[in-house]
Structure 1
Amino acid sequence: MKVLLISLALILANSCKSTSEKEAEQQGNTTETSMNMKEMCPEGGECTVEVRENATLTVADDEATGGLYSVIEAGNKTVVTYTYAKKGPAGTADGNYSETIQFELPEVTNTMSLSDSNLQDVQLLFGKQCYCKGEAGHYRVTNGSLKLEKTNKGIMMHLDFKVPEVTEQRVTSISRMISM
């Protein structure tokens, strides 16, 4: 009887797909890579890159709060989301901290170099999610530089930026290959 129950439990566990796998199948063209390399990710956190093809990024104003938020919808561009996440101390309800950087790539891009206010040509957006009064939220990035170069492996990205409205910003530079 025990063998039967254990076998049944193993079959059920192996036959189920996680919610994220189902969402990826529905999205169709979503690629996510995770990296825990110290030289690429600020200390103590985990960084991920999500690439959504056939999408568009819209930066919208929240009239109620005066803040910004991002909306990703179907479209003819590619949306890149880079996330840095650090778990808070055990036993804290709101100690987690994360930063997101989002931008969209035009349909055909071989090389691109943008700086300062031209960063808004790709809707470059910085988000800070934490319990940090007055700083949590999304900000348009207008101070920095973004260089993209398409290769046979994907797109090489170099981003250096600063958000003056934020006193503590952990991600200020990203250099990595984005697999497509």
Structure 2
Amino acid sequence: MKKIITLFLFGLLFSCNAQKNVSTAMPKLVSECPKDGTCEVEILKNKQLILHYDDLGGMYYDIKDQEGTTVIHYQYNKTTQANLQDGHYREDIIFEIKNSDKSLDLTDSELQQVKLIFGRHCFCKGQTGYFKIEKGNLQLSAKSAISFNLNFTCDKVPQIIKSISVK
């Protein structure tokens, strides 16, 4: 009887599998990523981008569950030497679309209709944080799958990524 219970518990232990929380398959990245880093894009279905400001005017964001909207997060990570303590460098481009949007063509100030923000993270005194993007162009199609072209500039801080194309 002990053997049966042991085998049952052993089988139960290996039959359990953690639920994976993957929102969608990773789309193919068409834009060229700088050779000194890696680029990833993540599409978060039924999520909402919420922008916040701290007491000093700095921007940060939250992503929360919300039916009817999708958040798109593009990230560039520069490859650095492991022995450099403050050598990291990352850029983020984040925006939100409505699930009902089948195509968008936004220019300059219209980019804030999708809450387009640019983030720069490094040991660069006074030149890090998140910033609204108000200069550029976004063309998006979401008929069978999401694809987009984004060209933008951020006047507040230097940037490496200025153009993204995802299909």
Question: Shared fold (TM-score greater than 0.5)?
Answer: yes
2:117 pairs, out of 125, 132, 135, with: 125
The whole-number CA distance in structure 1 between the counterparts of 2:26 and 2:142 is 18
> Matched residue of 1:128: which SS?
strand
Aligned twin of 2:59: 68
Q: What are the within-5 Å matches in structure 2 for residues 5-24 of structure 1?
A: none
Return the index of the structure with the highest Cα Rg. 2
Corresponding position: 1:29 with 2:23 = yes
Q: What are the within-5 Å matches in structure 2 for residues 1-180 of structure 1?
A: 25=20, 27=21, 29-32=23-26, 40-63=32-55, 65-76=56-67, 77-152=69-144, 154-166=145-157, 168-177=158-167
Higher mean C-alpha deviation, range 84-93 or range 67-76 = 84-93
Deviation for aligned residue 1:34: 7.8
Compute the RMSD of aligned alpha carbons: 2.3
Give structure 1 stretches of 5+ with no counterpart: 1-14, 16-20
Give structure 2 stretches of 5+ with no counterpart: 1-13
Residue pair 1:45, 1:87 contacting (<8 A) in 2 also = yes
Q: Which residue identity does 2:36 align to in structure 1?
A: G
Q: Which residue identity does 1:67 align to in structure 2?
A: G
Q: Which has the higher helix share?
A: 1
Question: With CA pairs under 8 Å and 6+ residues apart, which has the higher RCO, 1 or 2?
Answer: 2
Deviation for aligned residue 1:32: 4.0
Q: Which residue identity does 2:156 align to in structure 1?
A: E
Residue pair 1:34, 1:48 contacting (<8 A) in 2 also = no
> Matched residue of 2:76: which SS?
strand
The whole-number CA distance in structure 1 between the counterparts of 2:75 and 2:112 is 19
Instruction: Go from structure 1 to structure 2 and tell me whether the alpha carbon gap of 1:92 and 1:34 turns closer, same or farther (over 3 Å shift).
Output: farther
Q: TM-score, normalised by structure 1?
A: 0.77
The whole-number CA distance in structure 2 between the counterparts of 1:33 and 1:155 is 8
Residue pair 1:141, 1:162 contacting (<8 A) in 2 also = yes
Q: Which residue identity does 2:151 align to in structure 1?
A: D
Taking only the aligned residue pairs, the percentage that are identical comes to: 34
Q: TM-score, normalised by structure 2?
A: 0.82
Q: Which residue identity does 2:99 align to in structure 1?
A: E
Deviation for aligned residue 1:172: 0.3
